[in-house]
Structure 1
Amino acid sequence: MTAFRTRYRATALAATTTAVLALALTACGGGDSGTGTRSEGPANNAAPASATGTAAKTSVAAKGTTTGGTGGTTGGVAKGATGSASTPLCTTEDVRISAATQDGPPYTHIVLTAKNTSGHKCEMKGFPEIQFLEGRQNLPSVAKSKPLVPVVLESGAPAYALVKLSDGGVDEDVEPVKGFSVRLQGSSGQAAVSAPGADGIAVDAAKYKTGYWTYELRNGADDF
């Protein structure tokens, strides 16, 4: 009887120990999943589904940002690289300058016309630098005739400048002029211009002055 009880206790103790171990394994999650694969959470180096989605969105966003940034930068560079250079100033080789009387007798004014014959556009800067009489200073300019915007001439287009010769009085100290020189500001050359009329023009050095180059003569601004 004593031997039987000893074997019974040993058997019961072994069974109890096995049960305790089984419960411990189950509580630790170390058991089989029933599918033949150990269930230990995500595989090594694999992100959870939510993280994968976030990573994917970040990748797409980054790609879009890069593409957009490159496109924007490329566009900016392209504009800067292919943008037209500043318009060159007209020279006396770019235009043909002629003179005509204005308003009939007593011929107190003439109009200079500068036509762009260069084949490209150019800017008529400021006013014509006119020298009617040798050894005399250029004609002074009239500030109120200055246009608000630069005068840029397309090929074949003209610009005008009104020039006052005198007040037209019979007692004025005038001198005859049959030809004169015109320089364009920003240009080193000069143009020889024939005065209108068979007898040329009469100028008073105390009264003559010139207006700025404009697209067209304007009442008020060019009344001087």
Structure 2
Amino acid sequence: MNASRRTALFSVAASAALALSLSACQSGEGAKAEGAAAPVAKNSASAAASAPAAAATTTGTGADTGTNTGAGAGAAVGTAHKSNSGSAGAKKGTTTPLCRAQDVKVSSERQDGPPYTHIILTARNTSNHRCEMAGFPHIQFLESHKQDVPSVAKSKPAVPTVLNPGDPAFVLVKLSDGGVHEDNEVVNAFQLILEGDSTVIAVDSSAGGGLAVDPAKTLTGYWTTELRNGADDF
């Protein structure tokens, strides 16, 4: 083979080798380019992964809203509870009022005798509404004896003494142990006040020559709708 032919073959071979080298380099750059694209895919995956997290955050906010709604419901219950308490306060405000002096007419009469050791006080509701005769009458028989007549605890009724219009309440009052006694004083009128009212009620007791009262022996029961044997026996 002559020199010119070898030179031509070498040039062809060199060109082929260069082409292969360039092709290999291009393939390497392509690989590098694909390798560089992987982080992009990873970032996309991260973005995709973060999307549910964002959705979860939104759901969490919804849960918070639900919690707030629950708190609102609790507040509504509390309001209802306060409203019920208000209703309860209204019921208390509409309970039966105490009888006042202007609501009743009080009279007295002797019981049994002679000797007359007790009287019965009657208080009749002359008003047009219900009222409660609370406690016992605070009685003073004598101007010289300012202390109220003591009450007898066993005569206290188990339930309030409530009077409809026209209804009476009764009290048994002890005057003395009976008989003629130097401590007895004749009483033709006496006074009393009702529980919860400072108005003085004057009671006429002059019928039959008045009442013989021993201040050291006097006792009074509680207002009741009827006199009861035993509880009112003192």
Same fold (TM over 0.5): yes
Q: Distance in 2 between matches of 1:31 and 1:65?
A: 41
Q: Distance in 1 between matches of 2:27 and 2:126?
A: 115
Query: Which residues in structure 2 correspond to 1:64-79 (within 5 Å)?
Result: 64-77=70-83, 79=85
User: How far off its partner does 1:125 sit?
Assistant: 4.3
Quote how far apart the aligned CAs of 1:128 are.
Answer: 1.4
Mark the runs of 5 or more structure 1 residues left unpaired by the alignment. Answer: 34-38
Displacement, 1:158?
4.0
2:15 partner letter: A
Aligned partner (choices 11, 27, 30) of residue 15 of structure 1: 27
- What does residue 4 of structure 1 align with? 16
Asked if 1:40 is matched to 2:48, the reply is yes
Q: What do residues 57-115 of structure 1 show as CA deviations (whole Å, max 9, x unaligned)?
A: 44234313312322323431452363433765432123222223334543321122223
Query: CA 1:210 to 1:82, structure 2 compared with 1: closer, same or farther past 3 Å?
Result: closer
Q: 1:83 to 1:75 in 2, by over 3 A?
A: farther
Whether 2:134 is the aligned partner of 1:160: answer: no
Match 1:182 to one of 183, 192, 198: 192
Which SS does the other structure have where 1:221 is aligned? coil
Deviation at 1:184? 1.9
| AA matched with 1:140 | V
Cα-to-partner distance string for 1:27-61 (whole Å, 9 max, x where unaligned): 6525989xxxxx7345599423xx55454344234
Aligned to 1:36: none
Alpha-carbon shift at residue 163 of structure 1 (Å): 0.3
Quick one: distance in 2 between partners of 1:98 and 1:159?
11
Offset at residue 149 of structure 1 (A): 6.3
Q: Which residue of 2 aligns with 1:90?
A: 99
List per-residue Cα deviations over 1:120-164 (Å, max 9, x = no partner). Answer: 555544431222233333442134346376845354354332100
Residues 123, 150 of structure 1: 8 Å contact kept: no
State the secondary structure of the residue aligned to 1:223.
coil
CA separation of 1:132/1:205 partners in 2, compared to 1, >3 Å: closer, same or farther? same
- 2:110 aligned partner, one-letter code: T
Q: Secondary structure at the match of 2:171?
A: strand
CA–CA distance in structure 2, aligned partners of residues 132 and 93 of structure 1: 21
TM-score by length of 2: 0.70
Considering only CA atoms, is the larger Rg found in Structure 1 or Structure 2? Answer: 2
SS at match of 2:202: strand
Counterparts of 1:117-128 in structure 2 under 5 Å?
A: 117-128=126-137
1:192 aligns with one of 202, 209, 213: 202
Rounded Cα–Cα distance in structure 2 between residues aligned with 1:146 and 1:73:
44
* CA apart distance, 1:8: 1.6
Structure 1 vs Structure 2 CA RMSD: 3.6
What is the rounded CA distance, in whole Å, between the counterparts of 1:161 and 1:82 in structure 2? 32
**1:221: which partner in 2?**
231
Deviation at 1:168, TM superposition (A): 2.4
In structure 2, the residue corresponding to 1:75 is in which secondary structure?
Answer: helix
Q: 1:20 to 1:159 in 2, by over 3 A?
A: farther
Counterpart Cα distance in 2 of 1:209 and 1:124: 18
The 3-state SS of whatever aligns with 1:40 is: helix
Q: Distance in 2 between matches of 1:107 and 1:196?
A: 14
More helix by share: 2
Partners of 1:129 and 1:29 in 2: how far apart? Answer: 100
- Asked if 1:212 is matched to 2:188, the reply is no
